[in-house]
Amino acid sequence: EDASKLPAVTVELRKRGYTPGEVEKILGGNTLRVLEANQP
């Protein structure tokens, strides 16, 4: 999959009861992890 699925992931997390803050942490944390793992 690619980043085009991100809105659907966000909606699904909210449907499953995650708060907006939790969703932000999940998505933001993942972004930081990927960026850090792929530094030159």
Give the SS3 label for residue 20: helix
Res 23: pLDDT? 93
Residue pLDDT, tens place only, 1-40: 678 888 999 999 999 999 999 998 888 877 777 878 888 7
Res 19: pLDDT? 97
Res 33: pLDDT? 77
Contact yes or no for 26/18 (Cβ under 8 A): yes
Distance CA 19, CA 39 (A): 31
Res 37: pLDDT? 86
Question: Could you tell me the two tokens for 37?
Answer: 């793992």
Cβ partners under 8 Å of residue 36, min gap 6: none
